[in-house]
Structure 1
């Protein structure tokens, strides 16, 4: 497994070692001890989620203020552009973002720790997205940062406005959003 710290060092790009031949492939998608060695702390996942979205659907940028969730994310079918935004006011990278293409072909995963907003846009015809979380979903704690906040400046690889839920269209600008200490 190859672990790379991104421009925001707490966000990790995890590329598994894939074994393949004419029959198909095999890889370890998660291994607790290797993951914790890379993260540098004990991590307890409590929930797995799986979504399917059509081309140009954008989900996010979501976070939970209390019951903050660390997320280990990956794509099992298709491809997405995945984004994490640092919402920790005490961080030197507060308000910065990182993005990576995750796909069924590259099998790359991202570790997005607590204190970040997270979202993705589907690049392929459709995509199935799975992720583990370190705390349970708490809808009353969920917040949304607007996807196109000019202060954050995420460069989304979209040619037309993405398809979003009403909730995501009403996300807040970073200057108005509740953030982490």
Structure 2
């Protein structure tokens, strides 16, 4: 496995090695000891999977409050997505900045997003399946979000904003300027 440090402190791209031949490939996509030594000494308590059928589906930007704040290790096991993390840690030199990368079954890359970031993604092809490990269980009372299209953040989504497929909840999330301070740097 390789780790790539990213321009926002705390985020990391993980690139598992693949051993392939004419039959396909084999890859170790997660190793607890390696993750603890190279990324963060943490425990994953739950693994989630979602299917987004339509191209241009946007899910997010989501996060949970303490004590259920989640770190997420995200990978796309079918299709291709544009995965995004936004720094919402008060006092961070990159507060309100975002990082986005393409995750796909083909590239096998994963994005580590620690607590203190809002997370979301847009599907680039039909029938995307996303799998992600989290460091805390889901808690509905701690569930929060940030408006995916907030111009103050300026995420450069690779799709026309007016054609995004959204849940009613994601259409109504607050902007960054309206967000209460939940995380400190």
**TM bracket, shorter-chain basis:** over 0.9
Secondary structure in 2 aligned to 1:153? coil
Secondary structure in 2 aligned to 1:36? helix
Output the TM-score relative to the length of structure 1.
0.97
Aligned to 1:15: 15
1:92 CA drift (Å): 1.1
Is 1:76 aligned with 2:108?
no
Distance 2:42 2:84 in 1: 21
1:23 CA drift (Å): 1.1
- Which consecutive residues of structure 2, in runs of 5 or more, have no partner in the other structure? none
Is 1:180 aligned with 2:183?
yes
Aligned to 2:30: 30
Distance 1:70 1:177 in 2: 19
Give the alignment's Cα RMSD to 1 decimal.
0.9
- Which consecutive residues of structure 1, in runs of 5 or more, have no partner in the other structure? none
Aligned to 2:156: 155
**Divergent runs of 4+, >3 A:** none
Secondary structure in 2 aligned to 1:33? helix
1:9 CA drift (Å): 2.6
Aligned to 2:5: 5
Aligned to 2:116: 115
Is 1:143 aligned with 2:144?
yes
Distance 2:91 2:139 in 1: 24
Distance 1:140 1:74 in 2: 26
